[in-house]
A and B are shown apart, each in its own frame.
Chain A
Amino acid sequence: MVSTVFSAFMQMQAGAAAARGYAQQATMQRMQAKTDELRYREQGVAVLDNILRTQASITARAAAGGIDPFSGSAKSLNQYAMAKGAQELYTARESGIIALRTGDMRAKVSLSQAKSAKMVALAGAASTIGSYAAGQEKLGGAA
């Protein structure tokens, strides 16, 4: 009887340990997702820098060449740089969001695994106790 109860307890402990591992894993995955998002934000800032640098260079070169930097082809080039940069900026931003969401999903999966581990352990423990009880019942005795 004692060994059976202890065995069930150990099974629950095992489940709890596994669940804790999964929970920590989930936290870790969230942190990783946040980190990835930050990196995408950093890429966005770099893209903005690149747009500014490209437009400044176009303006400067146009002015130097005696061309109105805010009209004509210079303007078109400026707009093109803006469009391309915006496209990259939004891609970086979307990637950040995706990374964050993916991390969140992973964390949720891990939490789900933790929950499952707990459930499995609980079921195992219950099965052990139940088996013991069934076995005792199965032994029978004089009525």
Chain B
Amino acid sequence: MCGIGGIVRPDRAATVDVSSLRRMASTLRHRGPDGFGLATGPGAGFVSTRLAIFDIAGGWQPISAEGGGLIVYNGEVYNHPELRADLARDGITTGTLTDTEVVLRLLERDGLAALDRLNGQFAFAWWQPRERRLTLVRDRFGVRPLHYAFAADGSLVFASEAKGLFASGEIAAEPDLVGIDDVFTLWGARAPRSPFRNVHQLRAGSLLVWESGRVVAERTWWRPQYAPADPGSSPEELDELMRDSVRLRLRADVPVGTYLSGGLDSSLITALAQDASEHELRTFSVAFRDALFDERIHQEEVAAELGTRHHVLEIDEADIAGAFCDVVYHAETPLIRTAPVPLYLLARATREHGITVIATGEGADELFWGYDLFKELVLRGQAERDESALDRLNELYPYLGGPGARRGPAWRRFFAQAGAADDPLFSHQTRAAATGAVKDFYRDEVAVELLAEDSMERLRADLPESFGRWSALERAAYVELRTLLEPYLLAAQGDRVAMAHGVEGRYPFLDHRVFELSVRLPEERKLDAELHDKIALRELAATVLPSTVARRPKQPYRAPEVASFFAGDSPEWVEQALSPVALRATGLFDERRVEGLVRRCRAGRATGLREGMALVGILSTQVWYEHFCGAGSGDYVAETGEPKVFIDLDVESALERV
């Protein structure tokens, strides 16, 4: 697991300054605290910061091959031993025991067809100097990030995180209103957009090929497909596959732990990991001082049952306020929830306990339809025939506090009238309507500018051709993968907050084989008409966990919002970030409207979902702007240490300086 970056120029005679690469290295160092490496050549430069997981001593990057190719790589390909053996059968040997070199050798042997054989989570750049060809690739679900942008001279600059682009000195950080509006519609900027103007995110499961100053190919190499030709699978198949997925994700030359939320998904992963692990498994949980959010009883029950070595990090509102700015810096996006903050603090604690690889239950709700959004969709569908189905809406979203919790006919009407049944995005209209509360605070001119850029309309236009052939629930699942999982859960709440501390998250449910099996499961094995969810998964869980755990209803993971910033005396930075001067500088939100919101927050009257999201959205945007676009934000320091590897492509020889 690492940070990667690079600059390639149209003109091979143009230089790439090592100082630019060193600034990129410094900015991405949290992703790779163990060391960094550089490579330079005619019109090209590359950087890697490394978190050592495989071949600790020998796996430094960039890695070059005899054929002249070079790779900088972030992530893991879990089946690399099998792929290495396959290469060996062709007489291809590797100088290291890393997955990185296996990927490079496979690419050199098989070209991009090699991607289909990779089981894992990765983002990498493959440089072929003779052709002056750079290929950027991102894994199937977008677990690992990859950003790129074009400089004025046509150079392509790429980096794991957007801040790496800015540190290069080639790309300026400016807000992108449309990308930000995506966040305030669907929780995250949808690739290829980002919240930064002209900064692109490579889409999940896609690749981009650049040659001598031109993008010559941009395509999807894997995408989620539903409505399978061969539906059906057995419980044994799910059991076997989940065990295999967990087994592969325990592969590392360092110890692996798990995050344990106390719910079904992480408990199942922990149980399977405990079964497969030869060592005492370490588990890590967040507990909240506020009982409304706390799940420690369930966490402790599972840890005790499985006999793991369990660690609990208890946090309160002040902890959230204290880490909020750092989280926004790492997430690189406005947020509408504080939920990434506890996971940032948990990753820090995990590293302090000496664990740098963590398996979690992420992905289960998208694959096996655990979210209330899916149940809501079933009920809204049933209500077209029988309106009484809407009564069960009162059972959903139990965590929504404030006025929404009173659950009356208006609550049901909100769902029933949220969108037309023939809208391809029917399933997500209520989320968009609720999240859009933040937009009420836009300055008038911002709202006018965004009139022609409707986030939902752009998403509709971007749906795959086969979308219309899928069932309503399959369509909803696809949209969840693309709008919630990829840009928010795996990014702001996943990769960024864990990698902020050099901790790698691994997601057994996001093995593409598990996804394909979940698609083949009949719908009623995921969610039935009586709203029993994740049925096949619960049956599997019942074989390895107490039935109370296997049956436990989902408690959505959330963290305190308004109270984190206004429960007592507000931290000074909150006052400053929300001051009229700061709001005018950012230019996004109307200072008088925000003043009204702040007044209500201070008085303890902002208790509902709408205002909680608005506050977090506005505050995070202010902090985000200050970090990346405000005065002094362009000052990035250079890495001054000695690189573990320095490759000079100009003389086509590798010189290792350890």
A binds B: no
Interface residues of A (CB under 8 A from B): none
